[in-house]
Structure 1
């Protein structure tokens, strides 16, 4: 059985978990806090980032892009298409939005909120910086406006069919929703899209995630929210 070194609220790890669940691939999960930079993690990945996937060959596959491709290459069901569109132009749009999420949204929003709200709990005397939280949430509102605009004219984020772009964004929004940082009243189109993804069986294990001393926001696990 493949295994994944992850942190429950790490969105990159959540993306791989969603992909594997969608493809019916069970995972053994090993939890680690990457910001602690423990020796066991650094031996696998000197960059101290997640996720790290061990296939049945017990070879570590390190980093989000390598892991995405490994899951798609090794585990796409023969009876169904994968999460990569067949048409080159559709696939290009998918990768554009995957990059938007994994790079732009992460760098402007998600990583700051995780650092301030979660990682700082492991730093003696550290407390969240209100200025950083305000800036990250302001950035998030701008991203949501863009996602609302896209989803007002599309069934799925990158076009008419569900793709990796949907799972990438859902992974990030699920982390932000857990921490209570999304005002869904200002993101109606995105909320409706997220509700459809949230109702998929692949999402069930994510909705059961809990972080010690940090319960999820109200409605996090509700399908009708």
Structure 2
């Protein structure tokens, strides 16, 4: 059984967990707070990023992209379609949207909420910077307009078939939803898309997450929200 070093609300870790659950792979989870840069973890990954995928005593993959490719290569079942489209054009669109979410959306939105609302809880005397959160919230609104348009014009984020792009966005949105920062009233089509992906059995592993002294917002675990 593989092990995954992760943080429950880290979107990159959530992508890996969703993939493993979608492919029916049980996994042992070990929680890490990468922002603490603890010496033992830095020996494993000097970049202090999660997830880290381990098989037995062997470190299989370090970081988001390596973990995603390792999971797809090792665990994607032959009986069903994987999360990487076989058609070249569809695969290119999947990677375009994945990069949008994992790089642009993360850099302009998600990382600020994590830094201000989660990481600062472990820094003595630190409090969230309301100015930073306001800017991140404004950026979030602009991104949601685009994602809502995609959800209104396509069955799944990248087209007719669910792909890694859907799991990437769902991982980020679920983190923000846990923290109560998504205004679903302004994103009806995106809400329908999220409701469908949230209802998948693979998503149960995320909906059961709880962070000590930081409970999820009301409705986080509800399929009808």
Q: Same fold (TM over 0.5)?
A: yes
Give SS of 1:59's match: strand
- How many residues are aligned here? 225
Instruction: Tell me the distance in 2 between the aligned counterparts of 1:120 and 1:56.
Output: 33
How far apart, in 2, do the equivalents of 1:201 and 1:46 lie? 34
Structure 2: any 5+ residue segments left out of the alignment? Answer: none
**Residue pair 2:52, 2:59 contacting (<8 A) in 1 also:** no
Structure 2 match to 1:46: 46
TM-score (normalised: structure 1) = 0.98
> Per the alignment, do residues 204 and 11 of structure 1 end up closer, same or farther by CA in structure 2, a change over 3 Å counting?
same
Q: Which residue of 2 aligns with 1:217?
A: 217
Deviations 1:97-128 (A, max 9, x none): 00000000100010000000010011111000
Distance 1:118 1:207 in 2: 18
**Which whole-Å CA distance do the structure 2 matches of 1:117 and 1:37 have between them?**
18
Q: CA RMSD in A?
A: 0.8
Contact 1:44 1:60 in 2 (8 A): no
Equivalent position of 1:84 in the other structure: 84
d(CA) in 1 for partners of 2:119 and 2:103? 20
Structure 1 moving runs of 4+ over 4 Å: none
CA shift, 1:59, in A, is: 2.5
Seen in structure 2, the aligned counterparts of structure 1 residues 20 and 168 have a Cα distance that, compared at 3 Å, is same
1:182 aligned residue: 182
Distance in 2 (alpha carbons) for counterparts of 1:205 and 1:215: 16
Q: Deviations over 1:150-192 (max 9, x none)?
A: 1111000000000000000000000000000000001111110
Q: Are the aligned partners of 2:97 and 2:158 in contact in 1 as well (CA < 8 Å)? A: yes
For the pair 1:30 / 2:30, whether they are aligned, the reply is: yes
Does residue 161 (structure 1) correspond to residue 154 (structure 2)? The answer is no
Scaled by the length of structure 2, what TM-score is found? Answer: 0.98
User: Does the CA-based 8 Å contact 2:178-2:217 persist in structure 1?
Assistant: yes
Q: Partner of 2:75 in structure 1?
A: 75
Deviation of the 1:57 alpha carbon: 6.5
CA distance, structure 2, for counterparts of residue 81 and residue 148 of structure 1: 26
8 A Cα contact 2:11 2:172, kept in partner: yes
Q: SS of the residue aligned with 2:153? A: coil
1:129 is aligned to 129
Task: Give how far 1:205 is off.
Answer: 1.2
Q: Which moved more, 1:68-77 or 1:55-64?
A: 55-64
Structure 1: any 5+ residue segments left out of the alignment?
A: none
